[in-house]
Structure 1
Amino acid sequence: MKRERPVIGWREWVELPELIDLPIKAKIDSGARTSSIHSFGTRRFYDGGAPWVEFLLHPIQRHATPEIAAVAPIKDERWVKSSNGEAEKRIVIETAARLGEIEWTIELTLASRDVMGFRMLLGREAIRRRFLIDPGRSFRQSDRHPAVIESLEQASS
């Protein structure tokens, strides 16, 4: 018997517990193959001979604070065609993601998304066989305004 897949909206709050303690508002983008997260101040380094990356991110849309540092092993580097049609080489990391009751591992490319509407895109590889998308609704699996984000938005205004 097929199990029912949860329905998600076109935007959701996604948790990345291995990277940061705050949820990030993500646009669900079935047109994008790989998921992407906003990053800047990227620094590569080696730990035990393995490549790692440290980067900064602003998890809240339209806010420069808080500025959070994240660290992850580098899984790969790939050429990705951005929304403007240009190809750029991006660092790929792998991390746990949580949306509603589902937790799974996703790949994220690191990209400057400061001018974009969302600090994170959840692409089709991440949602495939896990969720159904309701393109007319938002926040089907997450709160519209998580309390922790609301308090940070008010503090930085």
Structure 2
Amino acid sequence: MKTFDHLTVIGLREWIGLPGLGIAKVRAKVDSGAKTSALHATDIETFERDDETWVRFKAHVGTPRKPQDIDCEARLVSFKRIKSSNGHLQERHVIRTPMVLGDKCWWVDFSLTCRKSMRYRVLLGCTAMLDGQLVINPGLRFVQDQPQTNLFHSEG
């Protein structure tokens, strides 16, 4: 049996932080079947800043019982055609922002989409897991400590 000591074990659900967006913590559903991570966002609009295209949006990171909306801005990385869970192709804005899981921080691409009908406001896709050297134990939930967003530094 091979083991990989350099990989971090996560469960099917984890707390993450997105300090570049002002989000200290949000519950994320881990989905190895999704390539790109997704963030629940509405009121998405593009604008120009320093000759680059940026996107302004409202991130919804609370729960249906305790809604929490955060006004965010991020540089637009791309538009991507993504097949949603119901099988429809959607054109989505994609941003790149630092993500904190426990005491680890790395840059992750997130597509912006409406996840209002979904239980979890963030979906963590397999590209983020590969980049963060994560391995999933499907029998566990919330393995990692709360995200330590105070460790984040904006270089990257």
TM > 0.5 between the two?
Answer: yes
Checking the alignment, whether the CA contact within 8 Å between 2:62 and 2:69 is kept in structure 1 is no
Checking the alignment, whether the CA contact within 8 Å between 2:33 and 2:126 is kept in structure 1 is yes
| Equivalent residue for 2:81, pick from 63, 72, 79 | 79
The answer on 1:139 being equivalent to 2:142 is yes
Deviation string 1:92-133 (CA, Å, 9 cap, x unpaired) is 000000101211111000000011111000000000161110
Q: Which 5+ residue runs of structure 1 have no aligned equivalent?
A: 147-157
Q: TM-score, normalised by structure 1?
A: 0.86
- How many pairs align? 143
Secondary structure at the residue paired with 1:18?
helix
Higher share in strand: 2
Give the Cα separation in 1 of the matches to 2:39 and 2:100.
15
Secondary structure at the residue paired with 1:40?
strand
Q: Which 5+ residue runs of structure 2 have no aligned equivalent?
A: 148-156
The answer on 1:14 being equivalent to 2:9 is no
Aligned residue for 2:95? 93
The answer on 1:122 being equivalent to 2:124 is yes
Deviating above 6 A after TM superposition, structure 1's stretches of 4 or more consecutive aligned residues are none
CA drift at 1:64: 6.0
CA drift at 1:86: 0.5
Aligned residue for 1:155? none
